[in-house]
Structure 1
Amino acid sequence: MSDRLPGFSTLAVHAGAQPDPTTGARATPIYQTTSFVFNDADHAASLFGLQAFGNIYTRIGNPTNAVLEERVAALEGGTAALAVASGHAAQVVVLQQLLQPGDEFIAARKLYGGSINQFTHAFKSFGWNVVWADPDDIASFERAVTPRTKAIFIESIANPGGSITDIEAISTVARKAGVPLIVDNTLASPYLIRPIDHGADIVVHSLTKFLGGHGNSLGGIIVDAGTFDWSTGGKYPMLSEPRPEYHGIRLQETFGNFAFAIACRVLGLRDLGPALSPFNAFMILTGIETLPLRMQRHCDNAKAVAEFLAGHPAVASVSYAGLPSDKYHQLARKYAPKGAGAVFTFSLKGGYDAGVNLVSKLQLFSHLANVGDTRSLVIHPASTTHSQLDDAAKVKSGAGPDVVRLSIGIEDKEDLIADLEQALGA
């Protein structure tokens, strides 16, 4: 190729991949192996001592997974990435590098229900404490900062309501506090929003959703922006202090602008063990090749469905940033001009019972706990994904009792609208 930088669609197909040097296979092979043969004793020692890059054991790294990591890093504009077993695993591995027992991180209150549960309950056993802030009130993030704060966590497009987060404004708060900004970019995908361009230091994804796109493989990924100085102030000893398990190497000093990705691999993935299956990596890579085509269709369909629902007499309100009347529309125009995503919520005039009834009447929409599939999906969050929250917390997170969440697929929009019409009429 010439010296020009490849476009997004070209990267989605080619980044990280080369024909297999042994067989000439064009598609990335599935390296379904647990371990790899060393050249000799010195080679093995250099790999284990972080003095050379290479393959040791699939729990730590695998050639199929490496192509996936390089591809997503390229799409997000990061310096390096690490693939893991799920989006939840990505969050655990990221925060393990940043937090010590007793430390805090600030999280936007509008998050996926599973993340709220993980942050509130599971992380307590590690001594990690979450402090909640309101993404509609940037000052609430500033007020939440304490000397124990080590990170800020937000979603670019929030689940379930599809609200757009002001990444740049919250990045300013993180910079002032001297902590990294972590952005879950699952619902947007890098096709719609690249958080690193707006001040994010770390990006995470559930690869299970739009990047994989076909509802057939679990996965998660961590992208290092290479923008944060981990040596400042001694806040992050996992990166700035000598690591005894690697003969005193300081990861920040040795690996520079991809030190965080290295730390996640050799301190997190190695010891916690949430490795991604090479087969799942292969499936997700295949999905990413069509990401630009799928995401545009997702967004176009979602806008048409949201417009239909906004005019239906049984619907009380629609929360979709692609609608000009939506409170997040201006943020959507700024951060996601190609489309406001494919996941949104709407409220029914009949309340909780109407939401449960609608889900049971839909025929083309699949009732299940996932988003980002080629198929259109529906769920009633208050009785499922956000059921662990009390009523007040459900409302604050955008999952009130009358709310239904849709993940719009790539079917014909006329068929989706017809299914919703018959269900609402029933």
Structure 2
Amino acid sequence: LRSFTFRQTATKQRLDIENGLFEKSLDFKLISKMRGNSTANGSNGTHDVDIEQMESFDGLISGDWLSSLVNWLNGILPDLRLPLDATEEELRQYLIDGTIFCTILNKPRPSSAEMDGGSKCGPVNVKRFLVAMDEMGLASFELSDIEQGHMMPVIQCLKTLRVCVNSNGEVNNIQNPSRKTWNLSGEFERIQLKQGFNADLSDATILELMKPSSLENASTQSLFSMLYRIMDGSIERNKRDLPHIEKSKVEEMGKVEKQNLLQLKKNNIQNDLEISRLRKELESRKEMHERHCLQLEAQAEGTKAVLEVKLKELECLLTDSKKKADDLQSFSESTQKRWKNRECSYQSFIDQQFGALKGLREISKSIKREALKTKKSHSEELNHLGKKLKGLRDAAGNYHLTLAENRILYNEIQDLK
């Protein structure tokens, strides 16, 4: 247990020292130099550093990348005044109108992305900014990301702008617009690093590079190597101090174990006393339980005799109930036979009535047919009679006309006479 605790304590102490050393060894000037050290091709050589690699290292160093990004926005746009503890949603509200994007892009290259005023022109400004980013061959985002989507593509785009545009509002030179690769060089590079090989920097070289003039002129890869060397050396120095720390930890653990041993002895004595008390209590409880068992046995004997008497009475009642059940069964069978006979008689009566009903239905159908036939004959006779009456009416009309003509002729004859 002591060995395991010692190893745990040593490992934890080593990790704490390494983490604290990593945070303390990153100087702010060195970080700023690595962020702004993307200049044009010089006479001393060039080094191509990928944006994703540089940004991942920058995020590892800064820890709070969102606060660092907000701080950069406030630096390049002093009138913005964003809070350093702004969340992603608050940052979305500031960026959704597109003016910040266009302003940053217009600083090194005026009129790269034209802006319109008003809250309704926000999507238009964002679209113009995205078009300008595509023309420059830089990573951008979708319009839906800034409106209601995830903010990570937007923040990645801002990080790209942060690498492209320095603190003075000047854009860094791009060798190939289709590639997101920037040319980083130093005019006074002190240490040359070959591809696939990390140079071993001496302490004198590190001290020389830590000077402000050397820090401004050093290349990015030299600064990376210097950082790794500082961290490795500091970790090695702190590892030498670990035995003293571990020794003090072991002494403290020994004192704690002695105190724990005394406490365990006290607890053991108390446990023995408690065990003896519990044994006495168990014996008394056992005697009480035996007496209670004897009482229960006596009660069980008396209860058994009473239950035997009740059982005999119940057996007699059972035989009587069986006889009654047999009588009821015979009575129910006779009643069932009687009801079956009645059912047969009712069924025959119903069948007779059903046959008579069918006969009446046939008779009613025949009467209906006769009535329809009579109705049809009557209608035919009425039609024939109507035709005859029409002929009589026409004859009567002709008679009246003839009578009127005869009267006229008679009057003319009288006049002639």
User: TM-score, normalising length from structure 2?
Assistant: 0.18
Structure whose CA Rg is larger:
2
Counting helix residues as a fraction of each chain, which structure ranks higher? 2
User: TM-score, normalising length from structure 1?
Assistant: 0.17
